[in-house]
Chain A
Amino acid sequence: MMHSDNLIAQAKAGDQNAQGKVVQLWYKRIYNFGYKFFQDHDMAMEVSQKTFISMCRNLTSLQENTRFKSWLYKIAVNYCREEARKRKVNRSLSFDVVWNREAEESPGWESSSSRFDSPERQYQHQELADVLQAALMEVNDEQREVVIMKEYEGLKFREIAEILNISENTAKSRMYYGLEALRKVLEKKNINKETIGYGL
């Protein structure tokens, strides 16, 4: 667990210090959830900001401190859906699609896991990650939510079901069909264990 129930209790009590610590602890997770959902830095930042502002304002309404994680992801998912709806209406092109500021300012080789890799390997790794991320964007929203929460956020199916307000079996079905869809997209792009000789 990333935090103790005590920290949540303090944050609930209005301790701004504790609230700040909670934000610091969870910001990366929520940002990455948003980023994988939209593949867009600005959108991920927007969702993260809104999620944590909402968290700080509504923390008192949290019934059980042990369910903080599900509760937080539920807020994030709702904001992701809201932003996705807005984006579908506006159909505007994010500036990051044209100029990936995030990639420019904070390139992939700075990430801790591959910091000591060779430049070529780093490049290949980044390229593969981009392809996978793009493939993930081709999966429909409902399945993508579950795939990200399960595969990258490590939530249990029970937690996912609680967050999305669906049954556990529905969450598992969405996961299954999401993975199948992803596999088909990657097959179409001819990306598999054999063609990728690195990063595995």
Chain B
Amino acid sequence: MAYKATEQDLMAYLYGELEGAEKEAIEKYLEENEEARTSLEKLKSLRLLMSNVKDKEVIAPPLFLGDAPKVRLLDTPYIRTVLSIAASLLIVMLVGKLVDIRAGWSGNELSISFGAPQMPIEVAPAVTTPSITQSNVQQMINEALAQNNATMQVNWEATQKKLDASINRNLDLNSAKIDQLLKESSAASQDQIREFVAGIQAENLKVVKSYFQMNSTEQKKYVEGLLVDFSKYLQQQRNDDLQVVQTQLKSLQQNTDLFKQETEQILTSIISTVGPGKPTGTRN
């Protein structure tokens, strides 16, 4: 049977942990099997690559051990487990005792109860009466209905009478009250109208009086104001007229002066033209 190297053999060979016949066998296998040889070469290359990861330098720090903890018997896991189970059971029993839990099995029934189980209440059997026929029942119903109807009829009639009497009485009372109220209201309204009209008249009188008073006062004030304004206007107008007259007079005076001057100049020129030796006017 041909030898075939396993992955375990390859690893052992790769790390030099094969010796003797095993080593020779795998070497022979690798010579004959190119695929295995290539695979091994790849792993060798990988190892070479991995050798680039160097160790890190580190200084060992001081170790503080202290005293080793003493293991007590109670701290051992086995004892602790047993103790915890025992404690749980004790608690369950204590709680059971306190709340008086009772568990029982009877027949196919499991019962858990707090306190003593209650006895079932006995129910008294129903008393059986002799049976009655349907016609008897029907007759009894009919009798009861007839009796009931008669009673209801009597009651209804009595109620009706009472109701009618009550309505009539109330109507009489109400009509009397309404008449009285109408009379009172009509009497009261005439007096009130008179008072109201008198009040209105008085009020109107006051209003008219005050209106006239106010009106006459206002008119007086207005006329006075008008007269004052008119006198002011007249005064203003007179002043203006005076100014105009004065201005015209001044203008006239100026014109007169001017005319006078011109006249003098003309006379002077005439005199100078005629000459002083020939006085004509004076000789005649």
Residues of A whose CB lies within 8 Å of any CB of B are 20, 23-24, 27-28, 31-32, 35-36, 45, 48-49, 52-53, 56-57, 102, 106, 108, 110-114, 125, 128-129, 132-133, 136, 150-152, 156-157, 168-169, 172-173, 175-177, 179, 182-183, 186, 191-193, 196, 199-200
Instruction: Tell me whether A125 and B52 are in contact in the complex, defined as CB-CB below 8 angstroms, given that A52-B63, A111-B57, A173-B8 are known contacts.
Output: yes
Q: Is the CB of B10 within 8 A of A106?
A: no
* B residues near A152, Cβ cutoff 8 Å: 53, 55
Shortest distance from the beta carbon of A141 to any chain B beta carbon, whole Å = 18
- B69 to chain A: closest residue by CB: A57
Partner of B54, one of A27, A113, A151: A113
List, in ascending order, chain A residues with CB within 8 A of B169's CB: none
Residue total for B at the interface (Cβ-Cβ under 8 A): 28
> Which positions in B face A, CB cutoff 8 Å?
7-8, 10-12, 15, 17, 42-43, 45-50, 52-61, 63, 65, 68
A106 touching B52 in the complex, CB below 8 Å, given contacts A173-B8, A183-B43, A186-B46: no
Residues of chain B lying within 8 A (CB to CB) of residue A136: 53
A-B residue pair count with CB separations less than 8 angstroms: 100
Interchain residue pairs A-B with the least CB separation, the first 3: A27-B60, A172-B8, A176-B7
Given known contacts A23-B63, A182-B46, A28 and B8 CB-to-CB distance under 8 angstroms: no
Q: Which of B47, B52, B54 has the most CB of A within 10 A?
A: B52
Instruction: Return 6 A-B CB contacts under 8 Å, by A number.
Output: A20-B63, A49-B61, A56-B65, A111-B54, A111-B56, A200-B49
Q: Is the interface of A mostly helix, strand, loop or mixed?
A: helix
Residue of B nearest to A31 (CB): B58
A147, B206: Cα distance in complex, Å: 129
Partner of A24, one of B8, B55, B57, B60: B60
Residues A27 and B58 in contact, CB atoms below 8 Å apart: yes
Which residue of B is nearest A125, CB measured? B52
B57 interface neighbour in A28, A57, A176, Cβ under 8 Å: A28
Give the distance in Å from the alpha carbon of A113 to the alpha carbon of B60 in the complex. 20
CA–CA, A57 and B11, complex, Å: 36
Given the complex, which residues of B lie within 8 Å of A179, measured CB to CB? 43, 46-47
Collect the chain A residues with CB atoms within 8 Å of residue B45's CB.
Answer: 192-193
Interface residue from A53, A133, A169, A183 paired with B65 (Cβ < 8 Å): A53
Chain A residues with Cβ under 8 A from B63's Cβ? 20, 23, 49, 52-53, 56
